[in-house]
Structure 1
Amino acid sequence: MLAEGGKMRKNKGKSLTTEKTFVFEFKAGKHRSVLQVPLQFPLNENVSDLHGRIMLLHKLPCFVENELKKSLAGFIEKETLVDFDREAEAALHRLNHGDVDIDKLTTSWAKTYSETTLEHACPEEPSWDEDFASVYHELIHSPASETLLNLEHSYFVSVSELIGERDMELKKLQERQSAEMNKVMQELGKTLCDQDVNTVAAQHFEAQQVLENKWASELRHVTGIQKQEYQEWVVKLHQDLQNPNNSFINEEIKVQPGQPGEAADRLFDEQRQLEESFTIHLGAQLKTMHNLRLLRSDVLDFCKHRRHGSSGVKLRRLQTALSLYSTSLCGLVLLVDNRVNSYSGIKRGTISERNQNKNHKALKCNMNIFNGSSDFATVSQECTDFHFSRVDEQLEIVQQVVLYARAQRCSKQPETAKSGGGEDKSKTTERNSSNILPGEFYITRHSNLSEVHVVFHLCVDDNLRSGSITARDPAIMGLRNILKVCCTHDITTITIPLLLVHDMSEEMTIPWCLKRAELVFKCVKGFMMEMASWDGGISRTVQFLVPQSISEEMFYQLSNMLPQIFRVSSTLTLTSKR
């Protein structure tokens, strides 16, 4: 049975609230009990939560629980409709008596309706990037694809020549400064002191910075012009394709390959010829087929373009371009240090950094970097990115996000964590808020790399060079998170450094390599089995990369280990005896 009563009041002078009494009558044995609960309408809490509180507060028997919930829900629904009807009647009354401006009301209604109803809303104006992406996707899947690739290659050659001039000028400056420093070091303790050496070193550093900034500005200017010209040319080419009478489509840019470049390509293919491929099926009930590859190569070979491309290199570049705007993207895991920039480790390899003068203690720097045969930032600069921002611009955005995330995380830390022990305080003081932690990663997008669309920059530290890491190591968990991103963002091919290093060193013995490879194989297998719950079971290609300097014997030992861990599918031959 329901009853209501009460009064109306204003809530802080803003909205009208009504107090109504909910009455619930139930029988317990021979006794009839009546429960009266005052409720404030409009009700801003969950019915289930309110029902639970009433049961607990009034210690009601459990056999009335369902009946109470049903009665309470009906009461709230009924009284809410009554309030809505009362408010509607009051609004109509104000409208009939001229208390409301009809024109203003209808304008407001029309605006709200058009903004919230898709079919009546104004269409969004397509951005230039979206238009260019759709035009490029259409052209790259047409006979004009070779024309596009030839134009991109011609731009690449011009930028490569400019970078060659830059490297030559920086090399000459470095050699001249090295000779000057040697003379200064010979006079150290005789006519010169440590302060004089530091002054010369500072002058050398400043001169290098000026020269590098000059060439960086020149490269930005050239690539900016190339990007604008390329995008305008692609749009014009698409327009001419729509007009069959126009002969502009027949104009193609020819790139004549040279013999030395072709020899370099053959040498590159020979160095990268160690490759093993496997097909596996993973899953508990519904099995999914995946492709696995074991490759011996330098990690940046997946990013470099060949100045004089052979047919194989050109086909790889075409495949990358065809899948640029698709659901089959290619990713690469690049191991980096904890700094979000392009000025350290494998992310940078300028001559001024690779040839640091180590003759004096004032010039030494303690940098935890991971060496590579080439530099990712330089490789990405060699070819203009016509679709995405430059690497340095993307890293600036990542840096801002890292700073914001660190600030949010620090603001949510409890006061007890901030007043911890002395050791934790020292670690917090030394840690730069702009750096990332081991196991964290950031992502850059590219259209100018030879075989990669997405690069995962995974932060690792020197702990990976020891042989004692476990499946809970931050780098391993970072791989798991990377594979999860691949599942949610259509990255169907991912290249992973199998040993979690890009270069071999003395401590990396055969037992060390076998133990590390077994750990990564087993962990990745477990992560791939999790993929079925992340993406429903999509076939993927996982490439395990080992350093170029690894021996063939070690490579084939790892190749024999892979099918044992993943249980590679194989044909079964049956013979019968008569």
Structure 2
Amino acid sequence: MQVIEGSSSMKKTKGKSSTTEREFVFEFKAGKQSCHLSVPLNFPVEENISDLHGRLMLLHNLPCFIEKDLKQSLEIFIEDQTNQDRDIDSELALQKIKMGQVDMDHLTKAWSKAYTETTLEHAKPEEPNWDEDFADVYHELIHSPASETLLNLEHNYFVSISELISERDMELKKLQERQSHEMDEVMQGLGKTRSDHDVNTVAAKHFDSQQELENKWASELKQLTSIQKQEYQEWVMKLHQDLQNPNNSSVNEEIKVQPSQLRGSHEGNERLYEEQRQLEESFTIHLGAQLKTMHNLRLIRADVLDFCKHKRNHRSGIKLHRLQTALSLYSTSLCGLVLLVDNRINSYSGIKRDFATVCQECTDFHFLPLEEQLKIIQQVVLYARIQRNSKVKNHPDVLKNGSSEDKYKNIERNPSNIFPGEFYITRHSNLSEVHIVFHLCVDDNVRSGNITARDPAIMGLRNILKVCCTHDITTITIPLLLVHDMSEEMTIPWCLKRAELVFKCVKGFMMEMASWDGGISRTVQFLVPRSISEEMFYQLSNMLPQIFRVSSTLTLTSKR
């Protein structure tokens, strides 16, 4: 008989007095020769059995035909020895209890705590969450006859905010006109009765006055939205409680709001929303390798903020054009919008300021205001940058080329900024047709005509679509040309080349969706700027079905 002894490398010494060494014995035949494998093991065994088995096979050059039997025998041996150790420990623990060496009260509390924490039916119920309760109540009411009342109330709040904003804009306009007149008088006397110091003094005074007035109106607007949100949430909860009582006559009166009263409250202050003719083309496609999924595609010519602004129903004059948005607010069919922004997380300039102004026009009764969401995002980005900086400093070998080094220096200079292709997300319940806004960072490179499928903006779109798949966003609006406004360098060939690139990339990303979410039907809206010509729009419309290969009905005839 050939005896195989386990080497010392197989011993797992932990340096603890509680470990015991036991010998594992395995016998097998190799042809006519009987072999005996003996390996010392330390118990309790904390090593993975599969790893231990592989090391035995490799170190002792064991034949492959015993691999399965060896692993089975090893598992049985470890399980038996472990159970024996547990039985011994249990007997010793029982002996200590019988001899009075253990505090029974302490042991009972420990067992009770462990049992209640691991057994669901005995666990303490979770404390009620106000946000979750309000969400459930709102979702129930918006899908009931009370939905009209909710929208009417939201519209009244919207009118109040609009009136306050109008007063603010009027007062700021008057201040600017008065300051402009004063500055003109000072400039006319420059060099005669006025000096540069006088001009600087007047300019500083004007700046302080404007800042003071803006802060005053910002405080009033914040206070009004806070009051509206509290009143609205309390009213919704009270309405839900009252609706549980069918004999409550006051509820019926509350639901039946008189449209004439609401219309009269804002008829004189209503601002007309001028809309240019919006062009739209819709397509239905089927994508997938084996199991094809149907998707809806739309090509729309409009302004990006048209999906956020509130449009009144001109027939009744009382409802916001957002009933469908309210119905799907707490559902698995959310609507998203891609907004192209710069690398700073704020709402002080450009499209970000316009978007923030739209968000201010109506109080958000469900989520934090935009400014508070941006503050939280800034903190998260700053924390992520600190983590990345420490990683780069600890592993300087990651800086392999000049671009990476420049990027690292940029992180140190502006740790709260984001890079092209990165995006942050804000949630809204007060927009017209959008629940989720993806703020995608792009730079001036998107205006050039030589970007590729690996451009950060394109990869950012891929990541956005992946988020849509994992978070129930079934409708997403994407700027087709990766710009919100047209400029001189954006010629017809530029537009066609950019649209072809985005169409093909989005098609590839949508085919990936089948592996991300199992194949769910979605609506993708491609948005082009409002200033684009109708001729260009229809050229892009003709390109879309060629790239996505829109399915059409095929009629077969046979001759007999």
TM value normalised by structure 1: 0.86
Q: 1:46 aligns with which of 23, 45, 48?
A: 48
- Asked if the contact 1:331/1:494 (under 8 Å) is kept, the reply is yes
Residues 1:167 and 2:175 aligned together: no
Of 198-207 and 516-525, more deviation after overlay is shown by 198-207
Corresponding residue for 2:9?
none
Alignment-derived partner of residue 361 in structure 2 = 382
1:429 maps to a residue whose letter is K
Q: Is the 8 A contact 1:147 1:253 kept in 2?
A: no
Name the structure 2 match of 1:264: 272
Distance 1:82 1:487, change over 3 A: same
Cα distance 1:195–1:418, how it changes in 2: closer, same or farther (>3 A)? farther
Change (3 A) 1:235 1:419: closer
Of 334, 339, 345, the residue aligned with 2:339 is 334
The amino acid that maps onto 2:113 is K
* Partner SS state of residue 256, structure 1: helix
Q: CA RMSD in A?
A: 3.1
Match of 2:245 among 243, 246, 256: 243
Percent identical:
76
Post-superposition Cα deviations, 1:132-164, rounded to whole Å, max 9, x if no partner, equal 111111111111111110100000010111112
| 1:493 alignment partner, SS class | strand
- What's the CA shift string for 1:288-339, capped at 9, x where partnerless? 1111111111000111113675569947411111111111111111111111
In structure 2, distance between residues paired with 1:174 and 1:506: 32
Q: Is the 8 A contact 2:310 2:320 kept in 1?
A: no
Match status 1:563 vs 2:550: no
The SS at the match of 1:306 is coil
Match of 2:326 among 321, 334, 355: 321
Give the aligned partner of residue 287 of structure 2: 282
Residues in 2 aligned to 1:97 and 1:400: alpha-carbon distance in whole angstroms: 58
Tell me by how many angstroms 1:482 deviates. Answer: 0.9
SS in 1 for 2:310: coil
- 1:463 is aligned, of 421, 440, 445, to 445
Q: Deviations over 1:54-86 (max 9, x none)?
A: 223333343433332222222211111111111
1:452-481 per-residue CA deviation (whole Å, 9 max, x = no partner) reads 111111111110000111111111111111
Alignment deviations for residues 192-227 of structure 1 (CA, whole Å, 9 cap, x no partner): 887876666555444433332222221111101000
Say which of 280, 299, 303 aligns to 1:298. Answer: 303
Residue type at the aligned position of 1:394: Q
Evaluate the alpha carbon distance shift between residue 426 and residue 483 of structure 1 in structure 2; reply closer, same or farther with a 3 A threshold.
Answer: closer
Q: How far, CA to CA, are the matches of 1:335 and 1:543 in structure 2?
A: 15
Other structure's SS at 1:20 match: strand
For residue 377 of structure 2, what is the amino acid of its counterpart? Answer: V
Q: Structure 1, unaligned stretches of length 5 or more?
A: 349-374
Q: Which amino acid aligns with 1:264?
A: L
8 Å CA contact 1:2–1:75 kept in 2: the answer is: no
Letter in 2 for 1:545: L
- Structure 1 residues 194 and 480 mapped into 2: Cα distance closer, same or farther (>3 Å)? farther
CA contact (8 A) 1:337 1:461 kept: yes
Q: 1:188 to 1:464 in 2, by over 3 A?
A: farther
Contact map agreement 1:3 1:22 (CA 8 A) in 2: no
What corresponds to 2:155 in structure 1? 153
- Mapped partners of 1:559, 1:306: distance in 2: 27
Aligned residue number for residue 83 of structure 2? 81
1:564 and 1:138 mapped to 2: Cα distance? 44
For structure 2, the 5+ residue unaligned runs are 7-11
Q: CA 1:273–1:546 in structure 2 vs 1: closer, same or farther (change >3 Å)?
A: same
Letter in 1 for 2:222: R
Q: Mapping of 1:50-69 within 5 angstroms? A: 50-69=52-71
Which residue does 2:434 correspond to in 1? 452
* Residue 385 of structure 2 is aligned to residue 406 of structure 1: yes
For the 8 Å contact 1:332–1:454, the answer to whether it is kept is: yes
Q: Distance in 2 between matches of 1:340 and 1:485?
A: 20
C-alpha distance in structure 2 between counterparts of 1:190 and 1:468, whole Å: 56
- Match of 1:136, SS? helix
Q: Is the 8 A contact 2:312 2:319 kept in 1?
A: no
* Cα deviation, residue 44, structure 1: 1.5
Q: Secondary structure at the match of 1:16?
A: coil
Q: How big is the shift at 1:420?
A: 6.9
Contact preservation (8 Å) 1:2, 1:23 = no
Correspondence for 1:213 among 212, 215, 219: 215
Cα distance in 2 for residues equivalent to 1:481 and 1:419: 25
What SS does the aligned partner of 1:34 have?
Answer: strand
- In the TM superposition, residue 189 of structure 1 has moved relative to its aligned partner by 8.1
- Higher mean alpha-carbon deviation, 92-101 vs 146-155, is at 92-101
Distance 1:422 1:192 in 2: 53
SS in 1 for 2:452: coil
Q: 1:39 Cα shift? A: 2.0
Q: Do the aligned residues in 2 keep the contact of 1:294 with 1:543 (CA within 8 Å)? A: yes
Question: Which stretch shows the higher mean deviation, 547-556 or 307-316?
Answer: 307-316
**Bigger shift: 65-74 or 204-213?**
204-213
- How do 1:508-523 residues align onto structure 2 when only pairs under 5 Å count? 508-523=490-505
Q: Is the 8 A contact 2:4 2:37 kept in 1?
A: no
- Tell me the TM-score normalised to structure 2 length: 0.89
Moved more, 194-203 or 232-241: 194-203
1:528-555 CA distances to partner (integer Å, 9 max, x unpaired)? 1111111111111111111111111111
Which secondary structure state, in structure 1, belongs to the residue aligned with residue 248 of structure 2?
coil
Q: Quote the Cα distance in structure 1 between the aligned partners of 2:504 and 2:349.
A: 31
Is the CA contact 2:312–2:318 (under 8 Å) kept in the aligned structure 1? no
CA distance in structure 2 between the partners assigned to 1:342 and 1:23 by the alignment: 72
Q: What letter corresponds to residue 340 of structure 2 in structure 1?
A: L
Q: Distance in 1 between matches of 2:270 and 2:62?
A: 88
| Change over 3 Å in CA distance of 1:391–1:30 after alignment to 2 | same
